Amino acid sequence: MIVQSYGVSVLGKPLLFYHTKDTLPSSLPSIWILGGIHGDERGATQLVENCLYKWGYQFPQVLWIPQVNPDGIQLDTRLNARGVDLNRNFPGGWQRGPDQGSYPLSEPESKALYRLLHKYPPQIILSLHWALGQIDCDNEEAIILAQKWKEKLLPYQKQGQLNMEWVVSGTVQQPLLPGSWGHTLALMTHNNNSPSLTHKTLKALTLELPWHPEGLPGLKQRPNDHLIKTRELFNRSPSLYLASMEPLLYTFLQAANERVVQ
Domain boundaries, the chain: 2-259
Per-residue pLDDT tens digits for 96-141: 989 999 999 999 999 999 999 988 889 999 999 988 888 888 887 8
pLDDT interval class at 211 (50, 70, 90): confident
- How confident is the prediction for the chain on average, in pLDDT? 85
pTM value > 0.85: yes
Average pLDDT over residues 18-29: 73
- The matching CATH number, chosen from 3.40.50.11540, 2.60.120.380, 1.10.3720.10, 3.40.630.10, for 2-259 is 3.40.630.10
Pairing, β 14-19 against β 124-130: unpaired
